[in-house]
Amino acid sequence: MDLRRSKYANYRYSNYMQEGLAVLKIGSSVEAAIFTDDRTIGRNNNVLHSAKREFAAKNSVASSPSKSRDENSATWERKKPCDDKAIRTTKNFIGKSCYNLGEKGSGFRPRGEVQDFNTLRRECLAAGRLFEDPEFPANDSSLYFSRRPDRYIEWKRPMEIADDPQLFVEGFSRFDVQQGELGDCWLLAAVANLTMHQNLFFQVMPEDQSFEENYAGIFHFRFWQYGRWVDVVIDDRLPTCRGELVYLHSAENNEFWSALLEKAYAKLHGSYEALKGGSTCEAMEDFTGGVTEMYQMDQTPPNLFNILLKAFERNSLLGCSIEPDPNVVEAETPQGLIRGHAYSITQVKNVEIHMPNRYGTIPLLRLRNPWGNEAEWNGPWSDQSPEWRFIPDHEKEELGLTFDMDGEFWMSFHDFTRHFTQLEICNLNPDSLTTDDISAGKKRWEMSVFEGEWVRGVTAGGCRNFLETFWHNPQYRITLECPDEDDDKCTVIIALMQKNRRAQRRMGADCLTIGFAIYHLEYPERLPKPLDINFFKYNASVGRSPAFINLREVTCRFKLPPGVYCIVPSTFDPNEEGEFLLRIFSENKNNMEENDEEVGIGDVDDRVPDEPEEDRNTEKVREFFKKLAGPDLEVDWMELKDILDFAMRKGKCCVCALLTRYIFT
């Protein structure tokens, strides 16, 4: 993955991506985690679990990890190992390009002191105290930004909530994710999907933490945010009411990984309230760095099941939902499905079927309700459905078939398309593939990433309806040379994401209405950079986003002939300001650059007289620059914008000129 940045981005408040500059790369996994993803029959009997562990220790019996329910096995009912050491990965595979929250280069402004997990933990252990996070305090400001809690909330550490607190009780699974009182089922569905992918799970939750070894009341999680991985540090004080967790929790009362993950995600966005309402694809992308496609079930392509099957085979994360009832919150349908609720798809398979008058296969999906309760599909292929009589025993074993009231169920693809209204597919970042995946011949996307900003009066031109200003928008040129293996065209997924809008909710910011258009450049060498108003006046787009919409991200898949194209991202109305990230996924390598003239700085003319002695305001600007730039005296475009704003407030344009000269000499 290239994330190219140019020092000249500062001139237009957008990032010119050039070869050879900063590169962020996610590393690869060294060793896969060994775990199983189902609960034992006596899943809530912690006394029994402890007795099993004690028995195993006394008899020196090493628990052998059993296979997940998605693998072949000799029994239908799966059990997790009792040994707490069953999870045995070696190290996180994010690599070196993970920034601390607020650190320079993280894309986030510091909210105080930049927090480094290892440093803080060492300090707490040396001082013999438990960590208390001053940046996300245990008070109402971390819960809500628009109101006060309607009851008394007490913040407690896990040791005050349960005996023998653990991050994991017999491993981790999708059954660990139970929704609390916060309206964030979109997040829970993504978390449930995350547990199905061990490498991705440990990418988000590093393994260097526990309630036992080096415990200091401090934990950390890693989330993808706009092209970078960001490490978020938290303390383990959790909101409770009458001694019970208020928000996300596990079915096991002494298992806390899911509650801590939710807290870290809430801190990233400023508060728990900021997590209310959202799309599963948003959380999927923050956990993986992937790009998400959204399908409305009444407008799906004819090969949708094949798309789903291939996506599942490539470890894509899948989610779905039913259009909500405007009159009833999370109304239940006669078939047992919940409207407006986010479900995760945990298996996609063509299943062998033997009926008296029919032999063949039937496409089936396994889904899960994040509530993890008895609210399940009750139609064909549901738990205890008579259709299962026609499935051979070996197929049942391969499916890991169980009939628990756990919120997980099977249904036919036909019924799925009839009852669900929306489908989300998260295509994983190409760097998320492990060495094992590559050795197994799995394919990967080629990806280009650009950052930019719409600035009032400069680059915020609005959509094509506003021809006079549309050409002011940032423009990106992409060259597609090689068609797909099985086609004469090139598959391209374009994803336009607006940045930081959820975190800015407390300031009244909502998502902007965004979209993009694609133009074919038949003779690119004859065209100006950037394309001017005359080009857009006489040339129609060859592709565009399905609509301009106020979501965090707009994504669309295209089939384009090889050639040169220009992508123009924009808001719907002119002069709406915001930052964005533009990502391009293609099956074969693409060459992408900002479609703009090169900006450079020539040599200083000897005839330019020396500047007079700097006054007090200039010195203040210089000190402000040094403070933001740090010891390397380098700034990104966000920091330069802050510096120029500070300089202009001093009321002297010469200050800006001197500052610019100081920065680039």
CA–CA separation, 40 vs 313, rounded Å?
Answer: 27
| Residue from 15, 92, 100, 369 carrying the catalytic annotation | 369
Cα 626 to Cα 624: distance, rounded to the nearest angstrom: 5
CB 322 within 8 A of CB 420: yes
Tokens 């986030």 found at? 108
Amino acid at 378: N
The sign of the CA dihedral 645, 506, 104, 282 is: negative
Catalytic residue among 197, 269, 341, 472: 341
Task: Report the candidate in 243, 35, 264, 36 with the shortest Cα–Cα distance to residue 136.
Answer: 264
Coil/strand/helix, residue 538:
helix
DSSP state of 549: B
Beta-bridge partner residues of 218: 235
Catalytic residue, from 124, 185, 281, 426: name it. 185
Do residues 71 and 79 lie in contact, with contact meaning Cβ atoms separated by under 8 Å?
A: no
Please count the other Cβ atoms lying within 10 Å of the Cβ belonging to residue 528: 11
Q: Which residues of 14-41 are buried (b: 16+ CB within 10 A; e: fewer)?
A: bbbbbeeeeebebebbeeebbbbbbbbe
Dihedral pair phi/psi, residue 48, rounded to 5°: -65, -40
For the four alpha carbons of 404, 410, 415 and 416, in that order, the dihedral sign comes to positive
Is 185 tagged catalytic? yes
Catalytic: 341? yes
Under DSSP, the state recorded for 594 is E
**256, 236 Cβ separation under 8 angstroms:** yes
Active site residues: 185, 341, 369
